[in-house]
Amino acid sequence: MLSGAYFSPTANANGWHNTDVAIAFSATDNLSGIDAVSPDIVVTTDGAASITVRTSTDGIAQGCADAARHTYFNCLLTVSQGPIIAQIWADAHEFDAYTPPLTLVQCRDNAMDLHNNAVGRELANIPCSSPPTLTSEQCCQRNVINALKTERLEMISGGALIPTGGCAVTITPP
């Protein structure tokens, strides 16, 4: 979450700025880290009663947890709705996520999500026979964790699409 905004120069004794003001933003996330923060801005116009909206993106986006989340959801959706409905729904979601033209980052994100969604639908067809009392949620959970460990899933790191080997993710069934 955004945790700070830093102004340069600082405000005068009355709390006002009478020159252009540079604003730098910071963010913290003690669970997954920060992936991106809105870029710094310079306010050059009268800003009385104005609002500036800025965001941060946590480290879950495009990482191991995101890969596991997409895969697990598609496994569960396939078990409950069948592979055709699951693919139609998941693909529609991915293709509706961005408005063309897509940036390179958005193309990588879509490629990652589409790959992990497809693996999730495949994992729904892998039976869990040991122990025989596993629910479909537990079976999907086990299969997704195995897919993470064996690098069947993909994530984005340093701007590149890479296998998820070495990820440690806990999946809690809904």
Q: What is the pLDDT of residue 31?
A: 47
Q: What is the pLDDT of residue 116?
A: 96
**173 inside domain:** no
Q: Is the pLDDT of residue 76 over 90?
A: yes
Residues 6+ away with beta carbon under 8 Å from 100: none
Q: What is the pLDDT of residue 4?
A: 65
- Tens digits of per-residue pLDDT, 88-130? 999 888 887 677 777 887 888 889 999 999 999 999 998 877 6
**38 inside domain:** yes
Residue span of the structural domain in which 73 resides: 64-163
Q: Is the pLDDT of residue 60 over 70?
A: no
| Domain boundary pick from 41, 58, 75 | 58
Domain identity same for 22 and 49: yes
Domain identity same for 153 and 68: yes
- Tens digits of per-residue pLDDT, 24-55? 766 665 544 555 566 677 777 765 545 555 54
Specify which residues 58 forms β-bridges with.
Answer: 34
Closest CA to 68 of 169, 173, 172: 169
Please state the rounded mean pLDDT for residues 132-155. 87
Please state the rounded mean pLDDT for residues 71-89. 93
Please state the rounded mean pLDDT for residues 54-80. 79
Our measurement of the distance from residue 68's CA atom to the centroid of its chain's CA atoms, rounded to an integer in Å, reads 10
Banded pLDDT at 18 (limits 50, 70, 90) = confident
Domain count, the chain: 2
Closest CA to 173 of 147, 128, 146, 134: 134
Domain identity same for 54 and 112: no
Domain identity same for 88 and 51: no
Domain identity same for 158 and 96: yes
Domain identity same for 74 and 152: yes
Domain identity same for 31 and 95: no
Domain identity same for 107 and 41: no
Q: What is the pLDDT of residue 119?
A: 97
**30 inside domain:** yes
Domain identity same for 89 and 131: yes
Domain identity same for 95 and 113: yes
Other residues' Cβ atoms within 10 Å of the Cβ of residue 143? 23
| Domain boundary pick from 58, 73, 106 | 58
| pTM given for the model | 0.64
Q: What is the pLDDT of residue 43?
A: 76
Burial 61-70 (b: 16+ CB within 10 A, else e): ebbbbbbbbb
Q: What is the pLDDT of residue 1?
A: 46
CA dihedral sign, ordered 26, 27, 28, 33: negative
